[in-house]
Structure 1
Amino acid sequence: MEDIAGRYEILDKDNKFIFGKLYRARDLEEDTIVFIQLIKDNIYINEKFLPNLIDESTMLAQINSHHIAKILDIGIYLTDEERCFYVVSEYFSGIELRKVIKGNYMDLNSIVKITKKILMALKTAYSHNLYHGSLSEDNIFVDEKYNIKIYDFCLTKANKGVNIRKDNSIAFLSPHQLNINYTDYESDFFSLGIILFDAIFKKMPFGIGKDEQSMLKLIDKGIDWNSVAINNENIALVNIVKKLIRRTEKYSSVNEILIDLSKFMYVKADIAPKDIKISEIDNDNTVLNKTDNKFMQKLMLLAMTIIILITTISQFK
């Protein structure tokens, strides 16, 4: 399986082809490098998935964010045994977040950098009435400078809010996705909490169930917090994780998460503005002038926290 639709030549060679995985490919018509994935048709996929995905991808093209991958082409691919959908997306020179986490390339600073960029992507998408619905460590790509690109936007929404159950995705689904196939913004927050827990502690908080019912039982059982190393350095970030994945008193907006994240940034003085561009909290493309002065770092962080609070409060007036 190396040539898709007579146009896309898969460049990455796996011993076993993995459905849902983003593979590097060459667009023979445009002579460009792209990402392509094959999605196996299954019982969860709606009959109008493909036309809906075409419509959603058109809307996605209008969203201006460096952190959200555009969809370039969509179609049907038939193998000898199965009917599949192929999705072609823009290329990003990076690797899956899963590999970054498992390779121990992340300290708390880099976790915060990546988290902030994920939140900015979500905030931009939400302003266009688009949730993700299938956020995982396999569709977030990271480069050597910890820039990110998020893939698979539109897939769940095009499927009328039902997650399509790509490989390795079940452990990132929220309880209401597992239970009643309902997806909303809170589903993304829950998925982000799972990702953050794994990034901090190098383990999945609830484990991985073999199906929906077993996964729900693992979530209901809860997390054994005594089995992980919580200390003064990471406790504020852990508290964010707890609020992301619990079922009551949860976050209701991206701004609320950014406020708590900014408090963590303020306390952790070794996170410099050159690593975290705080001004991106309000604009994905704005760049804050950098300074190495420790006092100015804390002053700006405090100021941004106040601005976010005012912004959040004003939204409820």
Structure 2
Amino acid sequence: MNKGYALGGRYEIIRQLGEGGMADVYLAFDRILHRQVAVKLLRLDFRDNPKAKERFDHEATAASGLNNPHIVGVYDVDEVEGMQYLVMEYVDGEDLKQYIHDHSPIDKPTVINIMEQIGSAVEEAHKSGLIHRDLKPQNVLIDKNGYVKITDFGISRAASEDTMTQTRSIIGSIHYLSPEQVKGQMATKQSDIYSLGIILFELLTGKVPFDGETAVSIAMKHSQESIPSVRTIDPTIPQSLENVVLKATAKNPDDRYATVSDFNDDLKTSLSADRSGEAKFVVPSDGDDGETRVMPFAPLKENTALADDKPKSSTKSEETPVEKPQKKRKHRKLKIFIWALLVALLGFLIFAIASSTSNAKVPETNGLVETDAKQKIEDAHLEVGKITFRSSYTIDKGRVIASDPDAGKKVDRNSKVNLVVSSGIKKIRIENYVGQQYKKVARHLKNEGVTVVRRNSPSSTFAAGKILQQDIAAKKRVDPKKTTITFVVSTGIKQIQLKDLTGMTKQQVVNYANEVELNPTFDYEYSDQQKSGRVISTTPKAGVNIQQGSNVAVTISRGKKPVKQKKQEQLRSFNVRITIPFHEDTTNVLNQEQEESSDSAASGSDTQESRKIISQNSSSVPDENVILIYLKDHDHDYSTVYKQMVINKDTTVLLPFKLLDSENGKYKVVRDGQTILRDNNVTYDSH
């Protein structure tokens, strides 16, 4: 999928995030809601595979039915030109597997915090009757603030299902599979708890408990071997915390925690001083013993004759005298043959020793840390030559990328072997770009390989084209190829003559508002003049001059009013008052004189102009928060933005709801990609 391609004319592809067995995941920009999303696209070779499509649809259905802040949200499912895709919440961070690799050893409170968040999500799935069946660090995402979300419900199943797929096949990732799944039995809630125990083991130790050259060997270990002691690997781990691992990973599901809630409760108190003297958990039963049994040999029958018991012939002593000289000649030839063989073997041995003392084989050092590589070279009777450093996206810093000569090549002893060592990823430093010209900054960052996303917002502080906000803090060093930075860019204050929107559809109004940078809000009422879904009127009215970024109230027709309406299903209108807290972001205040003085020569006139604006207004420029409000009631869809606004102080807003007696509404307020206010159970009676 090429960069810039817009799926369904809405989701603009930015870059690829990863590849899976059946689908590829891309970072995209939602042109309508002006936000980044993750798009999961079914691969071309699976688009005609009914099972792949079924799993793809199942993932969307399963995840969208769950409402938990630690489960990745699903926004949209669609198919365009034969391409089936899933639009999900984008988590700006990394998967837990990479996090463990980057941060191990991880302190115990952080481990418990991460596991509690994962457990919260799994508990929600279990309450909804879903078993994940493929819990692993690769399916756990963690953002830059340590906030955790789990994903990939593609092979989840309802707890009541009993299918051939569950009972006759191994489904899931082998390093985290429960013993019953390894045996092809049906997965239960306790199977997910076993996987949680393995993830906890890896968080504490930095590695999985069982590994091997083949999937079969790993599966056998899960089925037959006891989980290694985490305290043997790290003696600082308290026994109470190891006990959580041992109980969660018991071979028999009946010996594990009954629920994820029990697992979480035990985990929360595992570092408490009250449990410091706790005894080691002993599994009361271990299911199938799993021991390897050696079949006994069949006993010899009583009438079996042994070779030494055979009767000897009495004629042996009556051999003729002619046979004795023949035996002597045979013995002489045998001695000559043995001596010749010994001489040949001695010659070969001397040749081998001589060869080994003059030649050496270059050892395999790729992937080793520099010190280990040097030791391995010296152990092979060779010398370490020149060491050069090169940046790499695939080899960790300090590990060997290549050797010269190559591994396996025979060279003279004491020859020099040169090494190329990774200097890690080439990172760049993010500066404070607030107040600078967007085009100039974007051009510079794109040349460095950074993905740049622009969002517009009116501002009375900065002129049009100047940067108001950035979502990555100044001075931070980042990998340009894996970094997306979002800038909120000022559109200034511009007067717009409002167009006559009467008769337009809601989508046409949204398109017009995006084009001229207005913020529409929608209300609905019955009308005999306009068809359902068409604009009746606007406030302010058409032809009025308003400022860019202003709100426009748009009233849309529900169609003609029905003749009768059941009393018990009255449509009630009411308001919900909320106060949105203002968050001051110091990255948007250009008062860092020491930092800017060193960059003044490179900043040019744009920085000088920004400083003039600041000095004219005040000693520090007030921050501006860009706020997105989502609302769901009888007339509004939760997947679209109800209202966008910019605030520079705590702001009170009235949210209008229209609900039937049987309906529940909900709302959420998002600031800089984070949900700060939410209510999922708004009713007329509760307000």
Which bin holds the TM-score, normalised by the shorter protein?
0.5 to 0.7
Does residue 1:54 correspond to 2:53, yes or no? no
Aligned to 1:183: 187
The 10-residue stretch of structure 1 (16-25 or 96-105) with the greater mean CA deviation from structure 2? 16-25
> Would you say the 8 A contact 2:231–2:239 is kept in 1?
no
Does residue 1:143 correspond to 2:147, yes or no? no
Alignment of 1:235-250 (within 5 A): 235-248=239-252, 249-250=255-256
Alignment of 1:76-225 (within 5 A): 86-104=85-103, 106-157=106-157, 162=166, 169-180=173-184, 182-208=186-212, 210-211=214-215, 213-219=216-222, 220-225=224-229
Does residue 1:252 correspond to 2:220, yes or no? no
> Would you say the 8 A contact 1:19–1:38 is kept in 2?
no
Deviation at 1:221, TM superposition (A): 3.4
1:66 partner letter: P
Query: For residues 45 and 193 of structure 2, what CA distance do their matches in structure 1 show?
Result: 26
> Would you say the 8 A contact 1:201–1:228 is kept in 2?
no
Aligned to 1:25: 27
Higher normalized helix content (fraction of residues): 1
What RMSD, in angstroms, separates the aligned Cα atoms of the two structures?
3.8
Per-residue Cα deviation, 1:132-159 (whole angstroms, up to 9, x for no partner): 1111111111123321111012533289
Deviation at 1:204, TM superposition (A): 0.9
* Change over 3 Å in CA distance of 1:267–1:42 after alignment to 2: farther
Deviation at 1:20, TM superposition (A): 6.0
SS at match of 1:138: helix
What is the number of equivalent residue pairs in this alignment?
Answer: 259
Match of 2:75 among 72, 96, 99: 72
SS at match of 1:103: helix
Deviation at 1:49, TM superposition (A): 5.7
SS at match of 2:103: coil
Higher normalized strand content (fraction of residues): 2
> Would you say the 8 A contact 1:19–1:37 is kept in 2?
no
Deviation at 1:60, TM superposition (A): 3.5
> Would you say the 8 A contact 1:244–1:251 is kept in 2?
yes
Per-residue Cα deviation, 1:250-280 (whole angstroms, up to 9, x for no partner): 11111221231132143399xxxxxxxxxxx
Query: For residues 209 and 85 of structure 1, what CA distance do their matches in structure 2 show?
Result: 36
* TM-score (norm. length: structure 1): 0.67
Is there any run of 5+ residues in structure 1 with no aligned partner, and where? Answer: 270-317
> Would you say the 8 A contact 1:65–1:121 is kept in 2?
yes
Deviation at 1:225, TM superposition (A): 3.2
SS at match of 2:38: strand
SS at match of 1:89: strand
Deviation at 1:164, TM superposition (A): 8.7
SS at match of 1:180: coil
Query: For residues 61 and 101 of structure 1, what CA distance do their matches in structure 2 show?
Result: 28
* TM-score (norm. length: structure 2): 0.33
Query: For residues 253 and 226 of structure 1, what CA distance do their matches in structure 2 show?
Result: 23
SS at match of 1:36: strand
Is there any run of 5+ residues in structure 2 with no aligned partner, and where? Answer: 276-687
Query: For residues 5 and 156 of structure 1, what CA distance do their matches in structure 2 show?
Result: 30
1:33 partner letter: Q
2:60 partner letter: S
* Change over 3 Å in CA distance of 1:41–1:190 after alignment to 2: farther
1:102 partner letter: H
Deviation at 1:28, TM superposition (A): 5.5
Deviation at 1:194, TM superposition (A): 1.4
> Would you say the 8 A contact 1:50–1:75 is kept in 2?
no
* Change over 3 Å in CA distance of 1:206–1:70 after alignment to 2: same
> Would you say the 8 A contact 2:25–2:38 is kept in 1?
yes
1:11 partner letter: I
> Would you say the 8 A contact 1:95–1:143 is kept in 2?
yes
The 10-residue stretch of structure 1 (255-264 or 193-202) with the greater mean CA deviation from structure 2? 255-264
Query: For residues 24 and 177 of structure 1, what CA distance do their matches in structure 2 show?
Result: 31
Higher relative contact order (CA 8 A, sep 6+): 1
> Would you say the 8 A contact 1:94–1:142 is kept in 2?
yes
Query: For residues 101 and 21 of structure 1, what CA distance do their matches in structure 2 show?
Result: 25
Per-residue Cα deviation, 1:25-76 (whole angstroms, up to 9, x for no partner): 2155645322234566999xx9456357536634543432100112234467
